[in-house]
Amino acid sequence: MKKFAPSCFLIAAAIIFLPYVACASPAPSRSAQPAAATERNASVPDQKKDWDLLAGKLRSDGIAPAFIDNVFSRLDTSPTLVPMGTKIKELYSNHFLPKPKKHAATPFETELGIPGPWFKGVVTAQNAQVCKDFLLDHADAFALAEIESGIPQEIAVALLFVETRLGTYLGKDNAFLMLASMSVTRDPSMLKSYLDDLPGAYEHLEWIRGKMMLKADWAYDELKALLEYCHANAIDPLAINGSIYGAIGLCQFMPSNIAKRGMDGNKDGRIDLFNVSDAVASLSNYLRKSGWQTDSTLDKKIKVLRSYNAMDIYARTILALAETILRLE
């Protein structure tokens, strides 16, 4: 699902491919406290005023006051600059800094028929076998999702592998804290430590300011969607970890996509994206609604996958891993 169109990849990462780069009931792998995302945040002063203003806006926008009060009363950390700083650095670099050299195709890419670049270390026979074993372990979930959506099982499992390594890495950052922090980070003066690293940044402050406002508004909408879903399902927002941009679950949905494209794969009456059946059904439904056709051209398939995560390398990696899975004996 779209993360600032690539969460995503979980789009933040400790596994090898994450640097390239929804909500559900708490799982054991989710920590109850927000993770400290970076050393840069250590110098950020306490900004309780920002939290108070944000809580007030959420109440005025219809989120249950008692629920909001409970969440914010337990939030014992200042807003972090990490999500906005990282996003502005990415946007600025893509817009103003030199582009990388054109990728030269490798023999393996030519053989597979999926030109690169791919995320380093992802498209391997070993990883393809891990995906194939996962398919066998969850055969019913993948089969039902393919019947209902038309999305090939190898595409679905490859996407899950790229996003969260089949659910073994769900993110280190609290989704609520990331989205809340991004929604209150609206002025370039707050990002000095990031702008100092970007050549010519201070000559483009108005451009940066405009991008920050857009992304802050986006984050606020996602924050509302997350809180609405958590309140409706009696879920603690402070117990859900995800990506640096608030994407959560095995399939890394942004919260606003739960209602629009989430699916109850196991038919238990709720959408839990930390459940394999629901995650597979949801990502498959997302790709179906984005226009996936199995007989489409490579370019059209890349376009559909880029609706999930905007990076070209993301889409090509999924297609290459899926093809490798198909070629296993």
Q: Give the model's pLDDT for residue 189.
A: 97
- Looking at residue 239, the DSSP 8-state letter turns out to be G
Looking at the domain assignment, is residue 4 inside a domain? no
Q: What is the mean pLDDT of the chain?
A: 89
Check whether 46 has a pLDDT greater than 90.
no
Residues 53-83 have pLDDT tens digits of: 999 999 999 999 999 999 999 999 999 999 9
- Residue type at 179? L
Looking at the domain assignment, is residue 107 inside a domain? yes
- Summarize the confidence of residues 294-316 as an average pLDDT: 97
Q: Give the model's pLDDT for residue 47.
A: 63
Check whether 20 has a pLDDT greater than 80.
no
Q: Give the model's pLDDT for residue 1.
A: 54
Looking at the domain assignment, is residue 6 inside a domain? no
Strand ranges (E), the chain: 173-174, 241-242
Check whether 211 has a pLDDT greater than 60.
yes
**Residue 252 is part of which domain span?**
39-326
Exposed / middle / buried, residue 209 (Cβ in 10 Å: 0-12, 13-18, 19+): middle
Looking at the domain assignment, is residue 187 inside a domain? yes
Residues 270-293 have pLDDT tens digits of: 999 999 999 999 999 999 999 999
- Summarize the confidence of residues 291-298 as an average pLDDT: 96
CA distance 158 to 280: 11
The number of angstroms, rounded, from the C-alpha of 77 to the middle of its chain's C-alpha atoms is: 23
Q: Longest C-alpha distance within the chain, in Å?
A: 60
| Number of domains the chain contains | 1
Q: Give the model's pLDDT for residue 329.
A: 75
- Summarize the confidence of residues 26-44 as an average pLDDT: 40
Looking at the domain assignment, is residue 9 inside a domain? no
Check whether 40 has a pLDDT greater than 90.
no
With beta carbons less than 8 A apart as the criterion, state whether 37 and 182 touch: no
Looking at the domain assignment, is residue 273 inside a domain? yes
Q: Give the model's pLDDT for residue 24.
A: 37
Percentage of the chain beyond pLDDT 90 is 83
Structure tokens at 266: 């196991």
- Looking at residue 296, the DSSP 8-state letter turns out to be S
Residues 6 or more apart whose CB falls under 8 angstroms from that of 209 comprise 187, 188
Percentage of the chain beyond pLDDT 70 is 86
Q: Assign 253 to helix, strand or coil.
A: strand
CA distance 15 to 311: 18
Check whether 327 has a pLDDT greater than 80.
yes
Choose the weakest-confidence range: 42-51, 259-268, 316-325: 42-51
With beta carbons less than 8 A apart as the criterion, state whether 211 and 147 touch: no
Residues 6 or more apart whose CB falls under 8 angstroms from that of 55 comprise 68, 69, 72
Q: Assign 248 to helix, strand or coil.
A: strand
Looking at the domain assignment, is residue 200 inside a domain? yes
Residues 102-159 have pLDDT tens digits of: 899 999 999 999 999 999 999 999 999 999 999 999 999 999 999 999 999 999 999 9
Q: Give the model's pLDDT for residue 185.
A: 97
With beta carbons less than 8 A apart as the criterion, state whether 139 and 153 touch: no
Check whether 13 has a pLDDT greater than 90.
no
**pLDDT class for 29, splitting at 50, 70, 90?**
very low
Looking at the domain assignment, is residue 12 inside a domain? no
Check whether 18 has a pLDDT greater than 60.
no
Residues 156-203 have pLDDT tens digits of: 999 999 999 999 999 999 999 999 999 999 999 999 999 999 999 999
**pLDDT class for 100, splitting at 50, 70, 90?**
confident
Q: What phi, psi does 242 have (nearest 5°)?
A: -165, -150
CA distance 163 to 34: 20
With beta carbons less than 8 A apart as the criterion, state whether 37 and 80 touch: yes
